[in-house]
Amino acid sequence: MTNPAIQNDFSYYRRTLNRMRINNVAAEEENEVNNELANRMSLFYANATPMLKTLSDATTKFVSDNTDLPIENTTDCLCTMASVCKVMLETPEYRSRFASEDTVSFCLRVMVGVIILYDYVHPAGAFVKSSKIEMKGCIKVLKDQPQSSVEGLLNALRYTTKHLNDETTSKQIKNMLQVN
């Protein structure tokens, strides 16, 4: 999402390899990506957030393949992870224990990631009032950070979630996530 040029760079690489093959120029075999892998990589990078898409697909598949397990097992785990991250970030006593800003950044990314996963896995999503994730608090924690460090995370919530634009999402949450 923060590096959209990677898809163009990879396409350029593929075109260059094809030209080299047409002109019978030998490429280093060990550095060349075969066509099947290149096609799969291209589809992977075509997504705005490829890793998050892969995780959400895998989590959704896990839930649908394991119908003997209650969906609440998965959603409760995701909710707990989001809540733990939120509390660690908003409580000065806990936050002061972080050795570096990288830890803060990591917690923010984990919180947003599990919110998005929850939104895909839970039938009603993460933004309904009955959601176990305290969305207003999570968004407030994000907005309390320097704008430059969380803009990508806010955009991930805005553009990669499934239920944000549903009628069941409160206007207050929608307003909190609007671009200023």
Structure letter (DSSP) for residue 125? -
For residue 85, is pLDDT > 60? yes
Residues 88 and 149 in one domain: yes
| Whether residue 30 is found in the same domain as residue 11 | yes
The residues, ordered by sequence, that sit 6+ positions from 57 with a Cβ below 8 Å of its Cβ are none
Task: State how far the Cα of 41 lies from the Cα of 45, in Å rounded to an integer.
Answer: 6
1 pLDDT exceeds 60?
Answer: no
Q: Kindly report the pTM of this predicted structure.
A: 0.78
Max distance between CA atoms of the chain, in angstroms, equals 65
- pLDDT value of residue 65: 94
**Residues 79, 27 share a domain:** no
Asked if residue 130 and residue 78 are part of one domain, the reply reads: yes
Query: Is the same domain home to 33 and 58?
Result: no
**Residue 38: half-sphere exposure toward Cβ, Cα within 13 Å:** 15
Same domain, 153 and 98: yes
Residues 81 and 139 in one domain: yes
Is the same domain home to 65 and 139? yes
Residues 142 and 95 in one domain: yes
Give the residue, 62 or 27, on which the prediction is more confident. Answer: 62
Coil/strand/helix, residue 8? helix
Per-residue pLDDT of 105-127, as tens digits, reads 999 999 999 999 999 999 999 99
Alpha-carbon distance values, 25 to 15, 16, 18, 28, 38 (Å):
13, 11, 10, 10, 19
pLDDT of residue 26: 65
Report residue 146 CA to chain centroid gap. Answer: 19
% of residues, the chain, pLDDT over 70: 93
Considering the domain architecture, whether residues 130 and 86 belong to the same structural domain is answered as yes
* Amino acid found at 43: L
Half-sphere exposure of 61 (CA within 13 A, CB side): 6
Q: What number of other Cβ atoms are within 10 A of residue 32's Cβ?
A: 14
Q: Report residue 40's pLDDT band, with 50, 70 and 90 as the boundaries.
A: confident
Burial tier of 161 (Cβ tally within 10 Å: 0-12, 13-18, 19+): buried
pLDDT tens readout for residues 41-68: 887 777 777 788 888 889 889 989 999 9
On whether both 39 and 80 belong to a single domain, the answer is no
pLDDT above 90 coverage of the chain, percent: 58
Q: Which domain holds residue 17?
A: 4-46
Q: Based on the domain organization, do 97 and 160 belong to the same domain?
A: yes
Residue 17's pLDDT is what? 76
Domain count, the chain: 2
Instruction: Give residue 27's pLDDT.
Output: 59
| Cβ–Cβ < 8 Å for 171, 136 | no
